[in-house]
Amino acid sequence: MQVKFKISWPIGIIIAIVAFVVFILSFVYKATFVPAYDHHLVSDDYYKDELNYQQEIDNQNKAAELKENITLKKEASGLTIYFPSEFEPTQISGIIYFQRPSNNKIDFNLPIELTTNKYFLTNKYLIEGRWNVKIEWTVNNETYLFKEKIMY
């Protein structure tokens, strides 16, 4: 004996709408409550950062006008940051910011304390992937800024 299961078109439309709503709500649930889909802002103080943006542009332009700017070089054992040789290394101070766009929990900052124009960072600090490097440094009461995106 064969059983025929027949659905009328209004019931079919209602089933399609309900299925679509369940599909959308599952995405809303995942984006809100599942830690694997954690979303975060690039900066927690993005309004305050926006006010300082013109000053950052000016400091970047000052750094670009130097005879040589900061350069980054990936090596087998780590990352070497070369500061301009036109300045005395002991007079350079500042902070190096490493930001991981995909995971803000592993962001870190390092103070700049130099004896030569090289700053070496071992592999234990950096994992493979994309990093935003921001170096704010001061020499002779002049502040400079260097920004670069690197694949490590």
Q: Is residue 120 part of a domain?
A: yes
Residue 36 in this model has a pLDDT that exceeds 80: no
Domain region containing 30: 7-39
**Token pair in block for residue 113:** 């304390």
Instruction: Name 102's bridge partners.
Output: none
CATH number at residue 122: 2.60.40.10
Residues 56 and 13 in one domain: no
Residues 80 and 59 in one domain: yes
Question: Are the C-beta atoms of residues 45 and 123 closer than 8 Å to each other?
Answer: no
Total domains, the chain: 2
Burial class (CB in 10 A: 0-12, 13-18, 19+), 119: buried
Q: Is residue 2 part of a domain?
A: no
Residues 144 and 125 in one domain: yes
Q: Is residue 77 part of a domain?
A: yes
Residues 14 and 59 in one domain: no
Predicted local confidence at residue 131, as pLDDT: 92
Residues 144 and 79 in one domain: yes
Question: Are the C-beta atoms of residues 99 and 86 closer than 8 Å to each other?
Answer: no
Determine the average pLDDT of the residues in 88-105: 90
pTM of the model: 0.68
Residue 38 in this model has a pLDDT that exceeds 70: no
Q: What percent of the chain has pLDDT over 90?
A: 60
Residues 35 and 51 in one domain: no
Going from the C-alpha of 89 to that of each of 25, 83, 85, 137, 141, the distances in angstroms are 57, 8, 8, 11, 14
Question: Are the C-beta atoms of residues 92 and 119 closer than 8 Å to each other?
Answer: no
Q: Alpha-carbon distance 82 to 117, whole Å? A: 6
